[in-house]
Amino acid sequence: MLKYVNFDIVFQEIPDEVTLAVNISNCPNRCPGCHSPWLREDIGDLLTASAIDGMIGPYLGDITCVCFMGGDGDPGEVARIAAHVKDTYPKDEELDKPGIKTAWYSGCAELPKGFDLKYLDFVKLGPYIESLGGLKSPSTNQKLFRIVPVEDQSGPTQGKTEEEISPDGRYRMVRMAMPRNFLE
């Protein structure tokens, strides 16, 4: 069960996307220096399919991505809600409709065991370590990945960018560089 505290339309969390960022509470990570310490508390409303549809509705046609900010306490539920978004707002090539992308900001260093990336387009991994900074810092430990099925060879060419293979071997996790001038 996930709870959310609030949401906002943001432009820097996922490069080149207009993102509905949903702040999820009950964070188990307790990162020193966290910019959202109130999200450690068990507060907010249940994040259901109906709740996410209510957030997306007024911005449909304007947003290009939904990002779950947190959810490490119940990653299976993050995957379930992401699946709902992908199924409800799909890409339609006949109508030249892009569909809504999905992203997850996790404070864990690795994906949870058995986690399926099928319904995510982006994943940020890594706890916030104050001395290393966030994603815009050149010394950060955090990594933002674009998720691409292994058989999909479009986009960045293998070997020209940093990438990893997901634990289940089904996805390429292509590291994305955060545009420094955009974030400052």
73: closest CA among 104, 101, 96, 100? 104
Given this model, what pLDDT does residue 183 score? Answer: 46
Asked if 88 contacts 52 with a C-beta cutoff of 8 angstroms, the reply is: no
Identify the residue whose tokens are 């409303």: 45
Residue extents of the structural domains in the chain: 3-183
Identify the residue whose tokens are 């991994």: 125
Instruction: 84-92: list long-range contacts, CB under 8 Å, 24+ apart.
Output: 84/49, 84/52, 85/52, 85/56, 85/119, 86/119, 88/49, 88/53, 89/56, 89/60
Given this model, what pLDDT does residue 155 score? Answer: 58
- The per-residue pLDDT string of the chain (184 residues; one tens digit each, 9 = 90 and over) reads 999 999 999 998 999 999 999 999 999 999 888 889 999 999 999 999 999 999 999 999 999 999 999 999 999 999 999 999 999 999 877 777 789 999 999 999 999 999 999 999 999 999 999 999 888 888 889 999 999 998 876 655 444 568 889 999 999 999 987 765 544 4
Given this model, what pLDDT does residue 123 score? Answer: 97
Identify the residue whose tokens are 């960022």: 21
Q: Running DSSP on this structure, what letter comes out for residue 57? A: G
Identify the residue whose tokens are 């432009």: 11
Task: Quote the longest CA-to-CA distance of the chain.
Answer: 48
Given this model, what pLDDT does residue 156 score? Answer: 53
79: closest CA among 26, 126, 117? 117
